[in-house]
């Protein structure tokens, strides 16, 4: 053990995201440094965000009332999740679905980029922006496969009732939250049913709606979108492997439990350092091994 504190306590976090765990399989040290030093966006990251937003507005039904508190934001997400599932059932396509769960007692959350309804099953799709020349090596795609499998696991558990409103309400202390009067005034103008005017009511509706989803397909997809053209270049299909994901989570959680420090990339993957803003500054693990940190 590296101390009594867990990684969540050291990083001042209350939950783990699916993206956090996925990023551990790119470089765990980099993932931690983003929290301790702050994440600065690059032009490439901004372009990726723009492409995601362009895709989102095609079918996304947002709640236009501006949240003024954390409780307001929780309500807004629950409302938009219900709208996304309804859109999926009506149009066979939805984007930006927030999922919640638990892994070994830790709160887990994630945001699925896209869902498609095909032949009666829900297909999960993760969209990644990249360069057209990018080679999809195993080291490059591993974090993405972990992320999309975590989405499948979490959505399955919400759909089956393995993770319920009660689980969520207790771990997130929903009964202690109160929505702002400003936000409530906005809701009153929407003519919602009385049962959906409270945070508890909307969250229960969200979990009930998720329980009504069709079967989640074991065939998961990762679409690699050219950040210059906005078009899908490569598509990767991954079959859900519950046993493999379980082993990956055991390893990842040793970091969150405080059983070990953050690991840098192994030497054979030191090429990743070339595209890391912490290389040679906050992290010097492979700084003097320039030949191994050459771009690939």
Give the pLDDT score at 62: 79
Give the pLDDT score at 169: 97
Q: Which CATH architecture has domain 7-263?
A: Alpha-Beta Complex (3.90)
**Cβ atoms within 10 Å, residue 278:** 18
Averaged over 232-249, what is the pLDDT? 95
Query: In which band, very low, low, confident or very high, does the pLDDT at 69 lie, cut at 50, 70 and 90?
Result: very high
By percentage, how much of the chain surpasses pLDDT 90?
Answer: 74
Averaged over 270-285, what is the pLDDT? 91
Q: What is the pTM of this model?
A: 0.90
Render the burial of 14-24: b for 16+ CB within 10 Å, e for the rest. Answer: eebbbbbbbbb
Give the pLDDT score at 1: 43
Averaged over 94-123, what is the pLDDT? 96
Which of 104-118, 220-234, 250-264 comes out lowest in average pLDDT? 220-234
**Cβ atoms within 10 Å, residue 247:** 10
DSSP state of 59: T
Q: Is pLDDT of 85 > 50?
A: yes
Averaged over 120-138, what is the pLDDT? 92
Bridge partners of residue 123, in order along the sequence: 116
Q: E strands of the chain, at which residues?
A: 16-17, 93-103, 106-118, 121-130, 219-226, 232-239
Beta carbons of 174 and 67 less than 8 angstroms apart: no
Q: Where in the chain is the domain with CATH 3.90.320?
A: 7-263
Q: Is pLDDT of 55 > 50?
A: yes
How far is residue 72's CA from residue 178's CA, in Å, rounded to a whole number? 8
Q: Is pLDDT of 292 > 70?
A: no
Query: In which band, very low, low, confident or very high, does the pLDDT at 232 lie, cut at 50, 70 and 90?
Result: confident
Give the pLDDT score at 149: 98
């Amino acid at each position: 053990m590296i101390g009594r504190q867990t990684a969540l306590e050291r990083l001042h976090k209350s939950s783990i995201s699916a993206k956090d765990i996925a990023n551990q399989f790119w470089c765990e040290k980099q993932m931690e440094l983003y929290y301790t030093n702050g994440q600065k966006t690059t032009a490439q990251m901004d372009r990726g965000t723009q492409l995601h937003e362009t895709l989102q507005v095609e079918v996304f039904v947002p709640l236009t009332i501006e949240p003024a508190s954390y409780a307001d934001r929780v309500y807004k997400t629950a409302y938009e999740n219900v709208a996304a599932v309804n859109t999926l059932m009506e149009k066979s396509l939805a984007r930006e679905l927030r999922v919640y769960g638990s892994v070994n007692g830790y709160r887990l959350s994630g945001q699925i980029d896209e869902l498609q309804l095909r032949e009666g099953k829900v297909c999960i799709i993760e969209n990644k922006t990249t360069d057209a020349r990018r080679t999809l090596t195993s080291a490059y795609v591993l974090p993405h496969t972990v992320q999309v499998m975590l989405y499948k696991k979490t959505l399955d558990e919400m759909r089956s009732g393995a993770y319920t409103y009660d689980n969520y309400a207790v771990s997130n202390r929903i009964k202690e939250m109160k929505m702002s009067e400003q936000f409530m005034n906005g809701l009153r103008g929407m003519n919602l049913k009385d049962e959906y005017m409270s945070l508890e009511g909307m969250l229960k509706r969200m979990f009930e709606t998720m329980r009504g989803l069709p079967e989640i397909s074991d065939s998961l997809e990762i679409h690699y979108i050219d950040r210059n053209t906005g078009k899908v270049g490569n598509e990767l299909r991954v079959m859900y492997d519950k046993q493999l994901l379980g082993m990956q989570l055991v390893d990842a959680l040793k970091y969150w439990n405080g059983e070990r420090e953050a690991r840098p990339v192994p030497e054979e993957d030191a090429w990743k350092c070339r595209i890391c803003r912490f290389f040679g500054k906050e992290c010097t693990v492979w700084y003097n091994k320039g030949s191994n940190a050459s771009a690939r």
